Amino acid sequence: MIEFKNVKFSYNTKDRAVKDVSFSVADHEWLSIIGHNGSGKSTIAKLLVGLIEPQAGEILYDGVKLEEKTINDIRHKVGIVFQNPDNQFVGYNVLYDIAFGLENKQVPRSEMLELIHKYTKLVDMEEYLSREPETLSGGQKQRVAIAGILAMNCDIVILDEATSMLDPEGTEEIIALIEELHTKYNKTIITITHDLNLALKSDHILVMKEGHLIKEGKPEDIFEERDILLSSNLDMPFSLKAIYEVSKTELNNNKELMDALWEYRSKM
Amino acid sequence: MGISFKNVDHYYPGVKRKEYTIALENINLDINEKNEFIAIVGKTGSGKSTLMQHMNALMLPTKGTVQIFDDIITPKKNKNPKLKSVRKRVGFVFQFPEYQLFEETVLKDIMFAPLNFGFTKEEAEAKAKEVAKLLGIEKILNKSPFNLSGGQMRKAAIAGILSYDPDILLLDEPTRGLDPKGAKDIMELFYNIHKQTGKTIILITHDMDIVYQYATRVVVLNESYINYDGNKEDLFKTNLYNENHLVKPNVLQLIDYLNEKLGYSIDYNTYTLEDLIEKLKEVSNNG
């Protein structure tokens, strides 16, 4: 369980601050954080992995406070995938990129290869071990980053707009993989995203606005409140917006149509 | 004619000598000076950005010629005209243009290009204020561009291009990374400019909802050649979109579902959710 308690953080600018935000994430839960550009979403991600420290409040992992003396242990549990696939590839090929993290964790060499094969297979990149980063697509690089996190045996995977620089095919690959990590491998997932269809798939959503947590709840509750979404520069996913807009018209009396729209929504 | 490609190939040099990657192959494309809203689509690596860079003479063709208004760009470097007039007439908004902001204030940043193109200081300032108003950023003109939100920075960078009033606008994924409202605002802005001034706009995007709502013509690149050049309706009526790794716009996916499920026959000349609701009302009244 992760607890974010009354955390405050601000840069010197007005933007991207986090103002007294509290929430918790249960084990195996999938949390999405949504909000406008500069609302503080990515700052939360950086705080969660200890890249920056809270100026007030605290962050606890299973009751242990994230601080200087605990950060190394906690980092072994938490992996993060960033927005730009090129900023996180450190090895000269896929094999060495994943080995780099394992080396840091002092995994014995004898075990490394086995782990690398196992997890590159899971993300469907086993055949690319000797490939250099410039020969990979954005989606493939993000999959390598995820394989690295899994090889490190992290229980918690944070994805900070990990699909926003990918094309639709790359985005689809990563979303399918996130769903698999959540359902099949029981990872705790935190996705920070503008992709409302992705947020719709998660268990729990936080809505950020100007550094404040303005709403949290299940996707169906969040996406019902269009005013709150619009106030944070968001909107409903298309399938729900269709229901919402159609139901405001006389078509609301057309039961056959409304049922079909709800059915369409449930397939998304 | 605004921009005309004749048998253009573009090769990138490879790691080893004599090795190269084909980025564009046999491109023939005519773009009108006015009234076009063209979307260039295709999967990553299909050559979209390379094609767009040729429209502003940022690259020389390996073979063939690109005519940009009155200037003809050829593979031979020393035969090419001075490019200032090309750059003035064709404005290029790069991906993540906010990375190129550099001045002390937003106003100075917006004035930089017009001053370079020979506007007087007064003209440049007047123009900067005019476009800032158009973009809704007139209140931040005296701020540092580095103290703005993501959406504001994007607008400031776009203002820097609009400030010298180019005839054709090239936009490489202008909505990427913006929140839904920021993305919508930017697209509405370009659409209004296009409607009001008739300027030709050429846009690269992966968002098929944007393509279907705004574009009047779609150019599909596949493995470095043009695989489709035509209207958006036909692209999605056949299997062509699928063969080119594109997804159907949301509104069309929903139309397919309703037509199949409820036996409706709503056509594809339906570009937004609002259009669809109007058509659903007609179906409902007639049924």
Please name each of the domains of chain A with its CATH number. 2-234 (3.40.50.300), 237-268 (no CATH)
Share of chain B above pLDDT 90, in %: 78
- Return contacts of B110-116, CB within 8 angstroms, 24+ apart: B110/B141, B110/B156, B110/B159, B110/B160, B110/B163, B111/B163, B112/B160, B113/B160, B113/B161, B113/B163, B113/B164, B114/B163, B114/B164
Q: For residue A135, which of B25, B44, B244, B205 has the smallest C-alpha distance?
A: B44
**How many Cα atoms within 13 Å fall on the side-chain side of residue A75?**
15
d(CA B243, CA A175): 22
Nearest to B180 among A166, A233, A250 (CB): A233
Secondary structure (DSSP) of A32-54: EEEESTTSSHHHHHHHHTTSS--
Q: Which residues of A touch B178 (CB under 8 A)?
A: 37, 194
Residue B20 β-bridge partners: B13
* CB proximity A250 to B under 8 Å: yes
Side chain identity at residue A230, one-letter code: L
Residue B142, Cβ density class (10 Å: 0-12 exposed, 13-18 middle, ≥19 buried): exposed
Is the alpha carbon torsion for A75, A79, A80, A81 positive or negative? positive
Instruction: Return the DSSP state at B95.
Output: S
- Is A230 part of the contact surface with chain B (CB cutoff 8 Å)? yes
Find all residues with CB under 8 Å of A34, minimum gap 6, and list them: A41, A192, A193, A194, A196, A199, A205, A206, A207, A208, A232, A234
Phi and psi, residue B45, nearest 5°: 85, 5
- In tens, the pLDDT along B82-132 reads 888 899 999 999 888 888 888 899 999 999 999 999 999 999 999 999 999
| CB-CB under 8 Å, B179 with A35 | yes
Give A252's DSSP letter.
G
> What is the crossing angle of helices A138-151 and A109-122, to 10°?
130
pLDDT bin (cut points 50, 70, 90) of residue B16 is low
Looking at the complex, does the CB of residue B178 fall below 8 Å from at least one CB of chain A?
A: yes
Q: What is the pLDDT of residue B287?
A: 62
Domain B3-248 sits in CATH at 3.40.50.300
**Residue-level pLDDT at B15:** 61
Residue of A nearest to B95 (CA): A165
Q: Which ipTM was obtained for this model?
A: 0.88
CB pair distance less than 8 Å for A260 and B149 = no
Does B176 touch chain A if contact means CB atoms closer than 8 Å?
yes
Q: Is A35 on the interface with B (CB under 8 A)?
A: yes
Q: Cβ contacts (< 8 Å) between B274 and chain A: which residues? A: 245
Q: Kindly state the tokens that stand for B219.
A: 């150019």
d(CA A23, CA B168): 49
Which pLDDT score is estimated for A13?
A: 66
Cα within 13 Å of Cα(B174), Cβ side: 28
- Please indicate whether, in this complex, the C-beta atoms of A239 and B262 are within 8 angstroms of each other: no
Highest mean pLDDT among A42-46, A114-118, B114-118, B216-220: B216-220
Identify all chain B residues contacting A245, using CB atoms and an 8 Å cutoff: 273-274, 277
- Whole-number CA gyration radius for chain B: 21
A85 shares contact with chain B (CB less than 8 Å): no
Q: Which of A248, A244, A250, A235 is nearest to A262 (CA)?
A: A244
Inter-chain touch A251–B277, beta carbons under 8 Å: yes
Whole-angstrom distance, CA of residue B84 vs CA of residue A195: 40
Selected for mutation to probe chain A from B147, B181, B187, B272 (highest A CB count within 10 Å) is: B181
Asked whether the beta carbons of A89 and A147 are under 8 A apart, the reply is no
A251 vs B181: CB contact, 8 Å cut-off? no
For residue A188, name the pLDDT band (cuts at 50, 70, 90): very high
The residue count of chain B comes to 287
Q: Report whether B109 contacts B99 (CB < 8 A).
A: no
Is the alpha carbon torsion for A179, A180, A185, A191 positive or negative? negative
CA distance B272 to A7: 41
Look at residue A245 in the predicted model and tell me its pLDDT. 95
Whether A242 and B276 lie within 8 Å, measured CB to CB: yes
Could you tell me the sign of the dihedral formed by the alpha carbons of A126, A130, A136, A138, in that order?
Answer: positive
> Which of B40, B43, B44, B253 would you mutate first to test chain A, the one with the most A CBs within 10 A?
B44
Condensed to tens digits (0 to 9), the pLDDT of residues A105-161 reads: 888 988 999 999 999 998 888 889 988 888 887 888 888 999 999 898 899 999 998
Q: Mapping DSSP to helix (H, G, I), strand (E, B) and coil, where does residue A109 land?
A: helix
Distance from CA of A155 to the nearest CA of B (A): 28
Give yes or no for a contact between B124 and B111, defined as CB atoms under 8 angstroms apart.
yes
Neighbours of A20 (CB within 10 A): 13
**Residue for token pair 């106003």:** B107
The pLDDT of residue A87 is above 90: no
Is pLDDT of A166 > 80?
Answer: no
Model confidence band, residue A268 (pLDDT cutoffs 50, 70, 90): confident
Where are chain B's structural domains? 3-248, 249-287
Residue at A65: amino acid letter: K
